[in-house]
Amino acid sequence: TVYGLGADATRSSAVQGIYQAKQRPSDNPLIVHISSLQQLRSLLRPNESHNERLTDATNVESTPNDNLDDPIPSVYRPLIRKFWPGPLTIILPNPKDSILAPEVTAGLSTFGARMPKSLLALVLIKLAGIPLAAPSANASTKPSPTAAEHVKYDLNGRIDTIIDGGPCDVGVESTVVDGLSYPPSILRPGGISIEQLQQCPGWENVVVGYRDASEKGTKPRAPGMKYRHYSPKATVVLYEADAIPPSASALLARIQDHQRVGIIRTSTLSTACGLSVVASTEKEIPNDSTPKVSTNGQMSHASEPQLEVANGSTTPSQRPMSRRPGFLDLVQSFALHNIPTVHRPFTEDWPVNPSFLIADSLPPLLHPSPGHPTPIRILVHPTPVRVAYSAVRELVPKLYPTDSKIDLVLHIGMAGGRDHYSMERVGHRDGYDKNRDVDGKTLAADDGAQYWPECPATLATSVACEDVWRRCRAQLADQSIDVRPSHDAGHFLCDFIYYSTLAHFYRRGEGGKDGERPVMFLHVPGDSDTLAVARGTQVAEALSPPPPPPPPQQQH
């Protein structure tokens, strides 16, 4: 969404620091950010050990009949499934024995919770081991920051550290919803629209629960309801979509004594509306390619807004803005996703999903070692991937945008009945017309050929499996662990998400016959005791990306 100012949500002194740095009114509640559903459940039932209750109940996809004891209200299940991690905050009852600092709720009997989409934020929360209270990192009432420089401008001298994660994707805060009353309501608009919410079961009649003007004299149920929000210092002028486009002379008359004006426009308007451009996010594009622009450092289609800074001259002179690399560009990345159990025979024989436990046990960062001088950042998807063909197809492109820097993707899934670990070499496009997913659906026999017509029936990883296998064996502390290469990923959801990810890299132009497809799948045994999880964690860590090649020697 935007940059946030985080503090330990369980310590009053830490939370008070947020109010002081932002000069925020004390009756304006804060949103609690979590990295997993386990962590959220521990806030709703602080006296229970949720680490020992990792059955299918840890998966939000479990139905009410499977999980009658889930403290997360069932009304939120469709929203969590569709929008988490992402820009959505849900209102939850705050238990009497809550571990949250009272300043977080501002005296309310409820609190807002959200699982952020930013991998950097998720890693930070998991590394801290605590929920983080985090409003936007700006001075109270001012526009929310979408870059690290904005945070420094507003809070320089008031906070100790800024983590630069690059430009934000959404640019506005999360949508806050209240499903504890009927009909459910939106308490604050944000990154998820009312139309998107209405598509979810149980939320068809969601209503707007906020006013356009600040609600003075009331106790705000959510941030953004009582006090001014997004209030910039500069004058803002909005031209409606059906208004006559402003001319350069009209803009000059409105600018008057101002030396600079920021213009956010779509490609339907002329560049800077005829004024002189001193800086722009627009980039030079070769004539033979599709025109694109860059918004806040992120590439987007030319029909979307672009930002220009202009002065009072009518002589255009473009100079593109530069983008600095952020923290995410500095370390190797290692993304993991795990597949939960779905078949009833599986859940009866193996009620606990070991792949979830293994992924959840991995550290957020592998520090440099003699054999690997580069630190490795491990990005674990915060929830198990839903065991549905449609969910996999929707999720995979979002996980790996074209500008992402992932050195190795590792999927982890359980193979019930095996006593060894399997490193899968290939994924299969076809053969998903027999096994039903969690929605009871299969795919047509020719579905793969129709959906991926440019991809072969089998795709192999571009990772050198033999080298990885040998390096993995050498790094294992427990040499009795049996790790084997395999060519059969099973023709079910494990195989399907493996092929889907391989095909995604193939399709986007990087994974042709000799292209890069840095994807692996690890099948783990069904055992889920402490020793088995520790062994699985060893294997996953040992499958980390190889060290980067040394820089070329300079010629003198």
Q: pLDDT tens digits, residue range 36-87?
A: 998 999 999 998 754 433 333 334 444 333 445 789 999 999 999 889 988 9
Same domain, 339 and 243: no
Same domain, 201 and 105: yes
DSSP state of 75: G
pLDDT band at 352 (very low <50, low <70, confident <90, very high): low
Residue 315 in any domain: the answer is no
C-alpha neighbours within 13 Å on the C-beta side of residue 74: 11
Comparing 477 with 214, the larger pLDDT belongs to 477
Whether 174 contacts 190, CB under 8 Å: yes
Residues of the chain with pLDDT > 70, as a percent, come to 69
Whether 415 contacts 524, CB under 8 Å: yes
- Average pLDDT on 252-271 reads 71
Instruction: Determine the pLDDT at residue 250.
Output: 76
Assigned token pair, 239: 């031209």
DSSP-derived secondary structure for 463-509: S-HHHHHHHHHHH-S-TT--EEEES---SSHHHHHHHHHHHHHHHTT
Same domain, 21 and 129: yes
Query: In the chain, how many domains are there?
Result: 3
**Residue with structure tokens 């304006």?**
28
Closest CA to 538 of 551, 554, 522: 522
For residue 333, the tally of other CB atoms under 10 A from its CB is 19
Same domain, 360 and 497: yes
Residue 504 in any domain: the answer is yes
Same domain, 195 and 244: no
Same domain, 264 and 409: no
Q: Is the pLDDT of residue 297 over 80?
A: no
Instruction: Determine the pLDDT at residue 62.
Output: 40
Assigned token pair, 47: 């006296």
Same domain, 80 and 168: yes
Instruction: Determine the pLDDT at residue 418.
Output: 79
Residue 349 in any domain: the answer is yes
Q: pLDDT tens digits, residue range 127-164?
A: 899 999 999 998 887 888 888 899 998 899 999 999 98
Identity of residue 37: L
Q: Which of 71-80, 421-430, 542-551 has the lowest mean pLDDT?
A: 542-551
Residue 343 in any domain: the answer is yes
Same domain, 535 and 455: yes
Beta bridge partners of 188: 176
What domain range includes position 91? Answer: 7-46+69-208
- What does pLDDT average to over the chain? 76
Assigned token pair, 243: 């208004």
Q: Is the pLDDT of residue 317 over 70?
A: no
Burial class from Cβ neighbours inside 10 Å (0-12, 13-18, 19+) for residue 69 reads: exposed
Same domain, 114 and 263: no
Residue 282 in any domain: the answer is no
Same domain, 500 and 453: yes
Q: Is the pLDDT of residue 310 over 70?
A: no
Contacts of residue 193, defined as CB under 8 A and 6 or more positions apart, other chains included, come to: 175
Q: How far apart are the C-alpha atoms of 420 and 385, rounded to whole Å?
A: 23
Q: Is 379 helix (H, G, I), strand (E, B) or coil?
A: strand
Contacts of residue 284, defined as CB under 8 A and 6 or more positions apart, other chains included, come to: 320
Residues counted in the chain: 556
